[in-house]
Chain A
Amino acid sequence: MFSLLRLEIRRMLTDTRFLTLMLAMPIAMYLLFSTIFENSPPVNGMSESVRDMISMAAFGAIGAALLATAPRIAQERTNGWLRQLRIMPVSTGQVITAKVLAAMVWGLPAIVLVDVTAVLAHGVHMAAWQWVSIGALLWVGTAPFAALGTFIGYLTGGDAAFGVTYGIYMFLAALGGLWMPVTILPTSLQHIATVLPSNRFAEMGWRIASGHAPTVLGAIVLAGWLVVFTGLAGVLYRRSNATR
């Protein structure tokens, strides 16, 4: 599995278009959204600028995880690499794990870039332990989204992958409270937010920023989604036969 993981990461590093996307997109998104939503109200004892930074770091990490998985996997189904893998001695679990871990690598740059941009552009300020713990938790928390992207990749056809991925990405961001606080949404949608992985993901960062520990329930929701998405991805991987 490590051999496969190494190769997955190596091929991402040789893909300049992919690298540009992974590094430029989080910064661009942050600058765009932090300007648009400059006047959103403070929530939970943390300044708007901190809240926005964490939301955008989460948004960037989620996007990185989704885009590092779904499009390429959908392409592998079309070009036949998937079939080739299935006749080699590597298990479904190893394939899925390698995909998820390789994608998670890109969560950290997204988070760090947003944090740095926030400090430079808007002078955002937090205690050192907050920077580190938020960064670490958000990085680990990218896992369910890498799994989601993997699932989408094995689910959709090559052309549809980008569209479906972006659609789900926007849905998770909007209803997860990453653009506007959940309290602004109608009550019915607020209930949905509590089970969305995007909301629970950013919540870990918001809690720490306002001086609290993350919730256990939030961690359970994220872990639950991770299990669901990796399970589904595994099933689809085994089932995708593509008898030409």
Chain B
Amino acid sequence: MNENAVDFSEVTKHFGSVRAVDGLNMTIERGETVALLGPNGAGKSTTANLLLGLSQPTSGNVRVLGMRPTDAIAAGRVGAMLQDGGLMGGVSVAALVGLARDLYPRPRPLAELLTEADLTSIADRRVDRLSGGQAQRLRFALAIAGDPDLLVLDEPTTAMDVEARQAFWTLVRGYADRGTTIVFATHYLEEADENADRIVMIARGRVITDGTPGEIKAMAGRQRVRFTLGRGDIAGLDRLPGVTSVDLRGPSVTLNTTDAEATVRALFASRRRVPDIEVHGADLEDAFLALTR
């Protein structure tokens, strides 16, 4: 019997008069990779805290792997990388990873953890003497030390450069392939788009929309057809099927449309040549702005 990885049922969290989470419903199945996407203040961090048992909901129910969050943590089935998580000073990197290994019931081998988090060369360095990026890799090592069933990452790549970010996500995808459920909070649209099977968009403490990146972009109802108009005639382009607006910029024209296929078919029917034609889906930013208005 496979319980869900995460179940939020009518969850609210109030801080005085502030409704940080306001009726959140969300289900994440085992093995999914889900992004919690939203602007700052949307309630992502509060949601992550509730998920990890760091705070209790004002009302509603939070279940992780079928248990209360604190029980799931105690059972060693959850690993998390907190945005503001700290480290124990005065000990070496290897010693701290060793502690995590000792606490979890099914620890990964130390050498593997150090290699995966790229810590082998600094294994003996004191934790107080790490750079920001190194400290972040160490926190990741602590999160995966116990080979968790659920991996929770709160804004995991903020201090990383492009290379480090790519390496990080390659690693995380490896875990996803092995069946680990991944939940990550981010405000980077591309990151959610590229790495999540599903995106839960959160704003003002609520789920705005929940679907695959493709579904969400389609929801925004916009695609773009672009081609080089040159000295051609712009007349009539706005009357093509599906077209909502026409954008002329230099020699190229962009048709915003709700149905790219119909527009392109009609274009080719009505013109001898359609040079440099490109068809783009709406990007996630359009979708996000449209849906959170």
Binding site for B on A (CB under 8 A): 3-4, 7, 10-12, 14-15, 76, 79-84, 86-91, 241-244
Contact = CB atoms under 8 A, between A and B. Distances in A.
Given A14-B91, A90-B103, 20 more contacts: A7-B95, A7-B99, A10-B91, A11-B88, A11-B89, A11-B91, A14-B90, A76-B88, A81-B86, A83-B82, A84-B85, A87-B54, A87-B85, A88-B103, A88-B104, A89-B103, A241-B54, A243-B49, A243-B54, A243-B55
A84 B54 contact: no
A79 B86 contact: yes
A87 B73 contact: yes
Contacts of A91: 74
Contact of B54 (A3, A4, A79, A83): A83
B100 interface: yes
B95 to A, nearest CB: 6
Contact of A84 (B82, B89, B98): B82
Contacts of A81: 85-89
Interface residues of B, number: 37
B274 interface: no
B77 to A, nearest CB: 8
B105 A84 contact: no
B102 interface: yes
Interface of B: 15, 45-46, 49, 52-55, 73-76, 78, 80, 82-91, 95-96, 98-100, 102-105, 126, 139, 142, 146
Nearest to A13: B90
B152 to A, nearest CB: 8
Contacts of A10: 90-91, 95
The winner among B73, B80, B99 for most chain A CB atoms within 10 A is B99
Interface centre among B15, B84, B86 (most CB of A within 10 A): B86
A179 B52 CA distance: 49
Contact of B85 (A7, A12, A83): A83
B209 to A, nearest CB: 26
Contact of B103 (A3, A82, A243): A3
Contacts of B146: 89
Contacts of B91: 7, 10-11, 14
Contacts of A82: 86
